Structure 1
């Protein structure tokens, strides 16, 4: 079975292929499936954005599609950036600009008040219009400076320290991160659902 992942983000595509590799699936990115257009994420919620992306890719490809949307919610900033996590510093900003902007907003805020959480919503969508929604959440806090090895188009990994850890996501291996991350949790639920369908 083919499954098209509605994303042009190479870092995310790599993570998802790794998370689903044990299943009897051919996971393709939108680009690999010949869908090159950018899908505007203009929903008010993560669910709306993921539904919009997965529906469009399922309709265009005639295959099952999945899409996710992720937000970083920082308590001290009234849960900003939230659904606008990749656009809140302005359109077409670099990963570095996004980190600098976020840390600038938190300047002077003490460590104990830098609580945050990541949430991912994944939608699985069929060409016939059936869909299922899975979500994952991880609590933590925002570091005072970026540390670790950057992952392509996943800038917040450099400053997010999950609860119970001293390291940022960017200081962890892919396997370590995927075992506890918001995206890992959401895709584990999706994986369990797909595994049941295979049997």
Structure 2
């Protein structure tokens, strides 16, 4: 099964391939599928944006598509950056500088009021338009400084400490982060769906072979 991931973010592609290890799925990035256009993410929710991206890639490629829209929501900033996480600082600020920009915004916010959560919505879309939605959320706090080494275009990992831990996502191994992250939790639901779907497919093949 070929699955086109509707993203130009190499960090997300790397995470996705790790999360789908063990499945008979060939993961291709949008570029690898020959899709270079960007989708205008003008939805009002993570789900709306993920649906828009998945539909675009499925229609362009004629194959199954997967889209993720996710972001960091900070309580003291009224939920910002939220759906604007990738671009809330403006075009002049590079992705790798978003952590510093966010810490500057939170300079006057005390430790006890730095609650935040990461949210992810995945949309799996068949080439005929059928689709399924999977969500994940992880609570935590914003650190007082950037810590660790983040994957490309995942700058908020440097400053997000998940609940019950004392390390940022960027200080964790890939396996440790994926076991508790918002995207990891959404992917767990996706993996259960794919496992059931593939078991059903294998059963149908077996039934056909026994006729």
For the criterion TM > 0.5, the same-fold answer is: yes
- Residue in 2 that maps onto 1:38: 38
Deviating more after overlay: 90-99 vs 161-170: 90-99
CA deviation vs aligned residue, 1:134-179 (integer Å, no higher than 9, x gap): 0000000000100001211000000000000000000000000000
Cα distance, 1:116 vs. partner?
0.1
Q: Which stretch of the first structure deviates more once superposed, 6-15 or 83-92? A: 83-92
Task: Tell me if 1:21 matches 2:21.
Answer: yes
Length-normalised TM-score, structure 1: 0.98
Q: What corresponds to 1:57 in structure 2? A: 57
Q: Give the match's secondary structure for 1:197.
A: helix
Question: Number of residue pairs matched?
Answer: 199
2:169 maps to 1:169: yes
Question: What do the CA deviations read for 1:109-137 (whole angstroms, capped 9, x no partner)?
Answer: 11110000000000001111111000000
- Residue number in structure 2 paired with 1:135: 135
User: 5+ unaligned residues in a row in structure 2: which ranges?
Assistant: 200-211
Q: In structure 1, the residue corresponding to 2:3 is in which secondary structure?
A: strand
SS at structure 2 position matched to 1:80: coil
- The aligned residue for residue 91 of structure 2 is 91
What residue in structure 1 maps to residue 203 of structure 2?
A: none
Deviation at 1:24, TM superposition (A): 0.6
- 1:70 aligned partner: 70
- C-alpha separation between the residues in 2 aligned to 1:164 and 1:24? 34
Q: Which moved more, 1:89-98 or 1:2-11?
A: 89-98
TM-superposition CA deviations, 1:46-92 (whole Å, max 9, x none): 00110000000001111110100001110000011111001110025
Question: In the aligned structure 1, how far is the partner of 2:187 from the partner of 2:16?
Answer: 8
Report the aligned-residue RMSD: 0.9
- TM alignment of 1:104-123, pairs within 5 A: 104-123=104-123
Question: C-alpha distance in 1, partners of 2:81/2:8?
Answer: 21
SS in 1 for 2:84: coil
Answer with 1 or 2: which has the greater Rg. 2
Is the CA contact 2:66–2:123 (under 8 Å) kept in the aligned structure 1?
Answer: yes
CA-to-aligned-CA distance 1:15-41 (integer Å, 9 cap, x gap):
001100111111111111111111121
Please give the secondary structure, in 1, of the residue aligned with 2:87: coil
Question: Within 1, Cα distance between the matches of 2:122 and 2:92?
Answer: 24
Q: Which residue of 2 aligns with 1:12?
A: 12
TM-score (norm 2): 0.92
